């Protein structure tokens, strides 16, 4: 589960880093992808894991459209406005999804859905195991893409210094579109991984928004390593809480966030250097 | 005329409703170092923005190396050979010096051989780029950062380098290093156009001076002539100091 | 007062009058009353939200949590004591404010995006508690609140009037805050928080106060709403939606304005009701509200009221250009009695105690030690210079003195008193003023407003005092006169040139009657004529007894102005001495001025 959190929150934090936009609609992107996966599986019975590239590409395209059509125009209005815009998108999408899929739990159940791998005492359900591995694979691929490709370099450059990026000829619109597309792609992949683990319905998006946002605040806004670490903390604290005090698991995570912020308002890996203050 | 690198004719430009540049004429010759001076609000930075394509002029033309570049996109102007070193920090703080300079070659990223060759050239002109290659740009001092910024701008082998207040916030030793580099650039056939509030330094460094006021060019000439102009002396140089 | 002349105030008053009359004359009142009650609830919430998010700029997306706190407070205590929750609305307000103080103290340490997100997290945290603390809250099912038996013909009318009353009170509260120094301080915080602290505004106190005050109307309304509904449940999804709706209401109307959120409340809930009637289903309503939110943000981001007023304004005054004022005209300083400007009562004048002293300051960033054991003094009545190469730790040391940073080791003394752990604003109150290298004026305010913003102390009386007390304005004019800036009084700060802004910022600092002024590169980015003007102002202030510390790269300026100069290099004091000693010191030339300094920058 930590892996899926890490993948999704990396998408959110990447968009934030490049655009200064908090994508609160990531949860609804995720649910959209999950329900679409369900629909295709329901109709064709196809192995859902095969849909990962399809949904990834589809959602990347969707994110690109959302950026070009909506976000781009609102960015000049400042960060508060873009958050509200994305909330608008999230609510509108929930409405559409409710109408299209109905306000019911949907679940994809491939043959391995109920099986698990047993290693000694440890019981690992296959869906969780597969999702975790797939999430990590995509995350690692994303990491190397950002580190080594020119497009990745351009993205990181835009995230670190927009004016500087414009100066060397990196189009901020192109970089932003790409960031949004990648961010939405993580939701596309995540949606597939999610629906083979849990049943989903449109309003689930709120749980996701809350968790993802908590993760990126805890990790430090815009820091992908921070997001990964915070995801692990969430995953572990949830598993722990699930085992002992199930109904309090969410409260524990938010409690952890509040305590951390009390001591480190900038988050775990948030930057606080001399540069920040002298500007 | 043939030696003109940049010519601006009758340029009017501004933000929103108002016009900042009101019919500006300016010609910059090859291999010169030209310093623009003028009061705050005279439109000096706007000249840079028009040249680099960040704002489109309402009327008038900008010609670069004989080609009309009026209203072209910033990246097109960049590829044509106009690089810019801004006054505030423009580096990517969490990347290494090497990566920073490499990104200066973003526009030629597909040509690996050329990238390599340019990198070698920049490392020769700005030795710091090789010495501190692995360091994060955010950890450099102000003077070192300015040198890396210049190095990055050189990756595209520009014919014209625009520098906005190159001495701003730098200590005298770093200013001297930057000044030396500017002279080297000019010696290697590049043309430099800069804005400098530190008028004495600017005029010492420049071969030519341009005085702007209220969106127009008031005065042009070689640097010594401008510095000796009595009006300029009282307005921008302050009255002579005893020491 | 001029309050009634504003069109928005007239519209607002008429709206309230109509609302007052409606139940008396309307027919079919029952349905519409119930709709209007929720409209008023949203108007109340949006107005309360406006205090922290509109004025101070801290956007909260979880503010409906305080409505829930009011509801639960009313319902739980009402059940325990056998009282209708409505009578406990004051308690609801108090509990909401108390919780807001605690929550605000933590969450307001974060800024912009993080704050938005954390407010959502707080909301969800409280929802989880409400769902799981079954013995207290009844868990997911909540519990029923007994309603008193009122007039059976019009059971909603009493609630209607109570909500109307609460709405009027909330608007009055916001109006009062907007006209107080608290309101001015909140706007300053929205503009530039670090700057606000440097001119003596206790930002933590202001923010937490605003946050708590903004929760009060929610708490009041919550207790009443619980009784009106007749039940209390923690429904998570709806709670977030409610927060989004109330933010939408404030946005549609115009955040930061007095009446905008009220009008927005009616518009948003009205639209919601209309779409319920038209579309019927919950999902369709969601879709419609989402689309409205998107459209508002895209096409009317400032909100209805500001958009209208800008439209009216534009038609009235088309293209009034900013007057171009020549640099030369401000080069003259007028003769004004300087003593009244710098006078500060009750400060030590003992020349033996240094005005400012640092001992053994160490500051590290990650692995880099920026300042490595610096001790130095700024003698009372001196002009002291602090120079050094880039990266030598000047700015870091400066920030340790002003309180922007806490040093890792060492101590800072102001007039002999240890101020190392004091906040930025306390230092300002005690007579330490500073300017910024890149000016940080409140750009949207006029020059005069910028000058009356500083606070010499924090007290309850300051908070509730009117924005412009006569005395402050008078003093501000004196200071502007002294600086030769009188003609700029009514200009927006953003319209001034950079050099002029630097002078205004110095004038702003003078309003604090500082005993010592710290100037961060005052000469950078401005031309020599203005530098001379600045130097003469500094000399005059110093003659009148003000101590000055200058961080600067303009060596001739430093050497001609200062009595004593400290040179920093690699985080340590390289040498301290008179200008002459510094000029000829081989170490300084080596580390700072550079060997070819005579050739290149001889007469910088």
Residue at C558 is within a domain:
yes
Q: Is C511's pLDDT higher than 90?
A: no
Q: Is A273's pLDDT higher than 60?
A: no
Residue at B21 is within a domain:
no
Mean pLDDT is highest, among A86-90, A237-241, C83-87, for: A86-90
Interface size between A and C, measured as CB pairs under 8 A: 159
> Cβ neighbours of residue C265 under 8 Å, at least 6 residues apart?
C39, C40, C41, C42, C43, C44, C45, C46, C47, C246, C249, C253
Domain endpoint, select from C311, C336, C370: C311
Q: What is the CATH number of the domain that holds C360?
A: 3.40.50.300
pLDDT band for position C457 (50/70/90)?
A: low
Distance from CA of A163 to the nearest CA of B (A): 6
Residue at B118 is within a domain:
yes
Kindly state the average pLDDT of the residues C563-582: 86
d(CA B10, CA B25): 5
- Using the Cβ of B176 and the Cβ atoms of chain C, whether some distance falls under 8 Å is answered with yes
Which of C79 and C48 is assigned the larger pLDDT?
A: C48
Collect all residues of chain C within an 8 Å Cβ-Cβ radius of residue A213: 117, 120-121
Least confident span in A42-46, B135-139, C91-95, C110-114: C110-114
Kindly state the average pLDDT of the residues A199-213: 79
Domain endpoint, select from C253, C287, C311: C311
C527:B179 CB<8 A: no
Please state the separation of Cα C469 from the chain's center in Å: 20
pLDDT tens sequence across B138-174: 778 778 888 899 999 999 888 999 998 888 778 788 8
Least confident span in C200-209, C398-407, C459-468, C510-519: C459-468
pLDDT reported for residue C549 = 92
Q: Is B123's pLDDT higher than 50?
A: yes
- Using the Cβ of A121 and the Cβ atoms of chain B, whether some distance falls under 8 Å is answered with no
A19 φ/ψ angles, rounded to the nearest 5 degrees: -110, -15
- Using the Cβ of B16 and the Cβ atoms of chain A, whether some distance falls under 8 Å is answered with no
Give how many domains chain B has, as a whole number. 1
Least confident span in A171-175, A263-267, B125-129, C105-109: A263-267
Residue at C525 is within a domain:
yes
Residue at C334 is within a domain:
no
The answer to whether A23 touches A145, Cβ cutoff 8 Å, is no
**Cα dihedral across residues B5, B10, B16, B20: positive or negative:** positive
> Measured between CB atoms, which of B140, B176, B198 is closest to C594?
B176
Q: What is the dihedral of CA A29, A32, A33, A38, to 10 degrees?
A: 160
Least confident span in B74-83, C149-158, C220-229, C440-449: C149-158
Sheet holding B216-222, edge to edge: B82-85, B160-164, B191-195, B33-37, B208-213, B216-222
pLDDT reported for residue C97 = 92
% of chain C exceeding 90 in pLDDT: 11
Structural domain boundaries in chain A: 2-103+123-203
Q: Which residue of A has its CA nearest to C521?
A: A278
d(CA C578, CA C584): 10
| Claim to verify: residue C248 and residue C387 sit in the same structural domain | no
pLDDT reported for residue C269 = 86
Question: Could you tell me which of C558, C566, C568, C563 has the C-alpha nearest to residue C592?
Answer: C568
pLDDT reported for residue A278 = 33
Question: Could you tell me which of C230, C219, C221, C183 has the C-alpha nearest to residue C55?
Answer: C183
pLDDT band for position C595 (50/70/90)?
A: low
Residue at B64 is within a domain:
no
List all chains that touch chain C, counting a touch as 3 or more CB pairs closer than 8 Å. Answer: A, B
pLDDT band for position C49 (50/70/90)?
A: very high
pLDDT tens sequence across C369-411: 888 888 998 888 889 999 887 777 888 888 889 888 888 888 9
Q: Is B233's pLDDT higher than 90?
A: no
pLDDT reported for residue A62 = 92
> Measured between CB atoms, which of A157, A171, A273 is closest to B103?
A157
Collect all residues of chain A within an 8 Å Cβ-Cβ radius of residue C121: 210, 213-214, 217, 254, 257-258
Which of B142 and A146 is assigned the larger pLDDT?
A: A146
pLDDT band for position C26 (50/70/90)?
A: low
d(CA C35, CA A80): 29
Least confident span in A210-214, B25-29, B50-54, C533-537: A210-214
Kindly state the average pLDDT of the residues C122-138: 80
pLDDT reported for residue A16 = 83
Q: Is C30's pLDDT higher than 80?
A: no
Question: Could you tell me which of C453, C426, C421 has the C-alpha nearest to residue C440?
Answer: C453
Residue at B192 is within a domain:
yes
> Cβ neighbours of residue A178 under 8 Å, at least 6 residues apart?
A151, A154, A155
| Claim to verify: residue C247 and residue C375 sit in the same structural domain | no
Least confident span in C150-154, C211-215, C535-539: C150-154
Interior angle at CA B54, CA B53 and CA B56, nearest 5: 65
Least confident span in A11-20, A202-211, B189-198, C382-391: A202-211
% of chain B exceeding 90 in pLDDT: 7
Least confident span in A41-45, C154-158, C483-487: C154-158
Q: For residue C596, what are the domain limits?
A: 355-431+514-600
Max intra-chain CA distance, chain A: 59
Q: What is the dihedral of CA A152, A156, A162, A168, to 10 degrees?
A: -50
* 3-state SS track over A182-248: HHHHHHHHHHHHHHCCCCECHHHHHHHHHHHHHHHHHHCCCCHHHHHHHHHHHHHHHHHHHHHCHHH
pLDDT band for position C174 (50/70/90)?
A: very high
Residue at C350 is within a domain:
no
Residue at C370 is within a domain:
yes
pLDDT tens sequence across C236-268: 556 777 888 888 888 888 888 888 899 889 888
pLDDT band for position C442 (50/70/90)?
A: confident
Q: Is C98's pLDDT higher than 50?
A: yes
> Cβ neighbours of residue B86 under 8 Å, at least 6 residues apart?
A163, A167, B149, B164
d(CA C596, CA C583): 14
A169:B107 CB<8 A: yes
A273:B138 CB<8 A: yes
Which of A264 and A67 is assigned the larger pLDDT?
A: A67
Q: What's the mean per-residue pLDDT of chain C?
A: 80
| Claim to verify: residue C280 and residue C416 sit in the same structural domain | no
pLDDT band for position C3 (50/70/90)?
A: very low
d(CA C310, CA C316): 10
Kindly state the average pLDDT of the residues C544-567: 87
Distance from CA of A111 to the nearest CA of B (A): 47
> Measured between CB atoms, which of B90, B99, B138 is closest to A167?
B90
* Two tokens, residue C365: 């960033």
Q: For residue B115, what are the domain limits?
A: 31-53+72-237
> Cβ neighbours of residue A144 under 8 Å, at least 6 residues apart?
none
| Claim to verify: residue C392 and residue C294 sit in the same structural domain | no
pLDDT reported for residue A24 = 83
The answer to whether C506 touches C333, Cβ cutoff 8 Å, is no
Distance from CA of A145 to the nearest CA of C (A): 27
Q: Is C82's pLDDT higher than 90?
A: no
| Residue B136, CB-side half-sphere exposure with 13 Å CA sphere | 9
Kindly state the average pLDDT of the residues A52-63: 90
d(CA C429, CA C416): 15
Q: Which residue of A has its CA nearest to B89?
A: A164
The answer to whether B82 touches B67, Cβ cutoff 8 Å, is no
Least confident span in A56-60, A168-172, C134-138, C425-429: C134-138
Angle between helices A126-148 and A150-160 (to 10 degrees): 80
Distance from CA of C286 to the nearest CA of A (A): 5
- Using the Cβ of C247 and the Cβ atoms of chain A, whether some distance falls under 8 Å is answered with yes
A91:C129 CB<8 A: no
Residue at C237 is within a domain:
yes
Q: Is C598 helix (H, G, I), strand (E, B) or coil?
A: helix
Give how many domains chain C has, as a whole number. 2
> Measured between CB atoms, which of C61, C132, C283 is closest to A98?
C283
pLDDT reported for residue C604 = 37
Q: Which residue of C has its CA nearest to A100?
A: C283
pLDDT tens sequence across C198-243: 888 888 899 999 999 999 999 999 999 988 888 888 775 567 778 8
Which of C468 and C435 is assigned the larger pLDDT?
A: C435
Q: Which helix H or strand E contains B195, and what residues bound it?
A: strand B191-195
Residue at C119 is within a domain:
yes
Q: What's the mean per-residue pLDDT of chain A?
A: 80
pLDDT tens sequence across C275-291: 777 766 677 777 887 88
> Measured between CB atoms, which of C112, C125, C291 is closest to A251?
C125
Q: Which helix H or strand E contains B130, and what residues bound it?
A: helix B128-131
d(CA C264, CA B27): 56
Binding-face residues of B in 76-115 toward A, CB within 8 A: 78-79, 84, 86, 88-95, 99, 102-107, 109
Least confident span in A115-119, C12-16, C19-23, C414-418: A115-119
C237:A250 CB<8 A: no
Kindly state the average pLDDT of the residues A230-252: 75
Q: Is C601's pLDDT higher than 50?
A: no
Q: What is the CATH number of the domain that holds C32?
A: 1.10.3470
d(CA B21, CA B71): 15
pLDDT band for position C330 (50/70/90)?
A: very low
pLDDT reported for residue C215 = 94
The answer to whether C198 touches C432, Cβ cutoff 8 Å, is no
> Measured between CB atoms, which of C368, C532, C559 is closest to B238?
C532
pLDDT reported for residue C338 = 60
The answer to whether A169 touches B78, Cβ cutoff 8 Å, is yes
Binding-face residues of A in 163-202 toward B, CB within 8 A: 163-171
pLDDT reported for residue C406 = 85
User: E strands along C333-469, which residues?
Assistant: 356-365, 368-378, 383-387, 409-414, 417-418, 432-434
Least confident span in C11-15, C203-207, C467-471: C467-471
pLDDT reported for residue A61 = 93
d(CA C285, CA A27): 19
Kindly state the average pLDDT of the residues A87-109: 82
pLDDT tens sequence across A215-224: 887 887 777 8
Kindly state the average pLDDT of the residues C122-133: 81
The answer to whether A3 touches A132, Cβ cutoff 8 Å, is yes
How many other C-beta atoms lie within 10 A of the C-beta of residue C349? Answer: 11
pLDDT band for position A268 (50/70/90)?
A: low
Q: Which residue of A has its CA nearest to C248?
A: A84
* 3-state SS track over B3-46: CEEEEEEEEEECCCCCCCEEEEEEEEECCCEEEEECCCCCCHHH
C529:B41 CB<8 A: no
| Claim to verify: residue C240 and residue C95 sit in the same structural domain | yes
- Using the Cβ of C528 and the Cβ atoms of chain B, whether some distance falls under 8 Å is answered with yes
d(CA C287, CA C296): 14
pLDDT reported for residue C210 = 93
What CA–CA distances, in Å, run from A211 to A227, B67, C70, C599? 11, 55, 26, 62
Question: Could you tell me which of C162, C37, C151 has the C-alpha nearest to residue C92?
Answer: C162
Q: If you count them, how many residues does chain C have? A: 604
């Amino acid at each position: 589960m930590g892996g899926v959190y890490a993948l999704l929150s990396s998408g959110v934090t990447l968009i934030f880093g490049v655009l200064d936009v908090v994508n609160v609609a990531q949860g609804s992107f995720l649910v959209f992808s999950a329900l679409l996966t369900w629909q295709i599986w329901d109709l064709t019975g196809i192995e859902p894991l095969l849909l990962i590239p399809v949904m990834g590409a589809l959602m990347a395209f969707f994110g690109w459209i959302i950026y070009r059509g909506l976000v781009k125009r609102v960015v000049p209005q400042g960060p508060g406005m873009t958050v509200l815009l994305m909330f608008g998108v999230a609510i509108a999408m929930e409405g559409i999804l409710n109408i299209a899929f109905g306000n019911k739990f949907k679940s994809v159940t491939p043959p391995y859905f109920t099986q698990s791998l047993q290693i000694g005492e440890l019981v690992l359900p296959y869906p969780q195991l597969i999702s975790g591995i797939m999430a990590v694979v995509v995350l690692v691929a994303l990491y190397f893409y950002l580190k080594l490709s020119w497009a990745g370099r351009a993205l990181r450059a835009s995230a670190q210094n927009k004016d500087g990026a414009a100066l060397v000829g990196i189009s901020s619109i192109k970089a932003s579109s790409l960031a949004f597309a990648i961010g939405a792609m993580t939701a596309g992949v995540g949606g597939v991984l999610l629906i083979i683990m849990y049943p989903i319905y449109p309003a689930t998006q709120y749980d996701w928004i809350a968790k993802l946002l908590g993760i990126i605040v805890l990790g430090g806004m815009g820091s992908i390593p921070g997001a990964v670490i915070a995801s692990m903390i969430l995953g572990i604290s949830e598993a722990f809480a699930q085992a002992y005090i199930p109904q309090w698991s969410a409260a524990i995570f938010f409690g952890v966030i509040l305590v951390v912020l009390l001591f480190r308002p900038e988050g775990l890996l948030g930057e606080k250097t001399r540069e920040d203050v002298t500007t | 005329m043939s030696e003109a690198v940049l010519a601006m004719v009758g340029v009017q430009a501004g933000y929103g409703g108002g016009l900042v540049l009101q019919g500006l004429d300016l010609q910059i010759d090859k291999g010169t170092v030209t310093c623009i001076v003028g009061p705050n609000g005279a439109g000096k930075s706007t000249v840079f923005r028009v040249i680099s394509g960040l704002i489109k002029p309402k009327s008038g033309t900008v010609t670069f190396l004989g080609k009309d570049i009026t209203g072209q996109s910033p990246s097109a102007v960049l590829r044509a050979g106009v690089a810019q070193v801004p006054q505030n920090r423009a580096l990517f703080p969490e990347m290494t010096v090497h990566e920073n300079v490499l990104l200066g070659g973003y526009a030629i990223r597909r040509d690996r051989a050329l990238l390599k060759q340019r990198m070698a050239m920049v490392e020769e002109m700005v030795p710091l780029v090789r010495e501190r290659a692995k360091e994060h740009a955010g950890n450099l001092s102000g003077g070192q950062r300015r040198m890396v910024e210049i190095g990055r701008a050189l990756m595209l082998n520009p014919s014209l380098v625009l520098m906005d207040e190159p001495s701003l916030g730098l200590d005298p030793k770093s200013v001297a290093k930057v000044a030396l580099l500017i002279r080297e650039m000019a010696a290697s056939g590049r043309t430099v156009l800069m804005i400098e509030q530190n008028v004495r330094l600017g005029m010492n460094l420049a071969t030519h001076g341009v005085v702007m006021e209220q969106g127009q060019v008031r005065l042009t000439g070689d640097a010594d002539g401008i510095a000796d102009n009595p009006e300029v002396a009282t307005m921008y140089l302050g009255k002579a100091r005893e020491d | 007062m001029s309050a009634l002349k504003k069109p928005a105030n007239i519209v607002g008053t008429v709206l309230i009058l109509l609302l007052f009359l409606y139940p008396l004359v309307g027919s079919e009142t029952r349905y519409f009353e119930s709709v209007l009650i929720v409209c008023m609830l949203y108007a109340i919430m949006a107005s309360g939200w406006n205090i922290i998010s509109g004025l101070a700029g801290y956007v909260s997306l979880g503010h409906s949590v305080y409505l829930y706190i009011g509801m639960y407070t009313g319902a739980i205590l009402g059940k325990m004591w056998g009282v209708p929750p409505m009578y406990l609305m004051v308690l609801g307000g108090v509990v909401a404010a108390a919780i807001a103080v605690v929550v605000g103290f933590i969450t307001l340490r974060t800024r912009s995006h993080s704050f938005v997100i954390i407010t959502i997290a707080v909301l969800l945290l409280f929802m989880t508690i409400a769902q799981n603390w079954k013995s207290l809250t009844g868990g997911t099912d909540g519990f029923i609140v007994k309603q008193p038996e009122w007039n059976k013909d019009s059971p909603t009318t009493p609630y209607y009037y109570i909500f109307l009353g609460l709405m009027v009170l909330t608007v009055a509260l916001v109006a009062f805050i907007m006209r107080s120094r608290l309101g001015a301080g909140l706007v300053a915080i929205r503009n530039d928080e670090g700057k606000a602290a440097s001119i003596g505004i206790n930002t933590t106190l202001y923010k937490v106060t605003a946050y708590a005050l903004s929760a009060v109307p929610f708490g009041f309304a919550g207790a009443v709403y619980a009784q009106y509904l007749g039940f209390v449940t923690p429904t998570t999804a709806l709670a977030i939606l409610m927060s989004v709706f109330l933010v939408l209401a404030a946005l549609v109307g115009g955040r930061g304005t007095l009446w905008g959120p009220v009008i927005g409340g009616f518009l948003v809930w009205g639209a919601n009701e209309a779409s319920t009637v038209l579309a019927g289903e919950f999902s369709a309503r969601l879709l419609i509200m989402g689309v409205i939110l998107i459209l508002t943000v895209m096409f009317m981001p400032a909100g209805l009221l500001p958009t209208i007023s800008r439209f009216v304004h534009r038609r009235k005054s088309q293209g009034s250009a900013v007057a171009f004022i020549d640099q030369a005209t401000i080069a003259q300083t007028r003769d004004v009695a300087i003593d009244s400007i710098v006078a500060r009562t009750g400060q030590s004048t003992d020349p033996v105690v240094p005005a400012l002293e640092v001992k053994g300051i160490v500051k590290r960033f990650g692995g880099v030690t920026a300042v490595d054991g610096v001790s130095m003094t700024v003698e009372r009545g001196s002009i002291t210079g602090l120079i050094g190469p880039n990266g030598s730790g000047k700015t870091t040391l400066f920030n340790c003195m002003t309180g922007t940073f806490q040093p890792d080791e060492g101590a800072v003394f102001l007039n002999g008193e240890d101020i190392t752990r004091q906040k930025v604003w306390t230092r300002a109150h005690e007579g330490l003023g500073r300017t910024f290298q890149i000016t940080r004026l409140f750009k949207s305010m006029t020059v005069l407003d910028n000058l009356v913003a500083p606070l010499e102390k924090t007290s309850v009386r300051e908070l509730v005092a009117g924005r412009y007390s006569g005395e402050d304005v008078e003093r501000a004019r004196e200071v502007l006169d002294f600086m030769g800036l009188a003609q700029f009084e009514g200009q927006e700060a953003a319209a001034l040139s950079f050099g002029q802004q630097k002078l205004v910022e110095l004038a702003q600092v003078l309003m604090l009657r500082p005993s010592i002024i710290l100037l961060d590169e005052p000469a950078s980015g401005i031309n020599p004529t203005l530098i001379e003007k600045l130097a003469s102002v500094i000399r005059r202030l110093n003659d009148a007894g003000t101590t000055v510390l200058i961080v600067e790269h303009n060596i001739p300026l430093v050497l001609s102005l200062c009595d004593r100069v400290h040179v920093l290099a690699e985080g340590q004091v390289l040498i301290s001495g008179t200008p002459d000693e510094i000029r000829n010191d081989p170490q300084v030339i080596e580390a700072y001025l550079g060997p070819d300094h005579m050739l290149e920058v001889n007469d910088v």
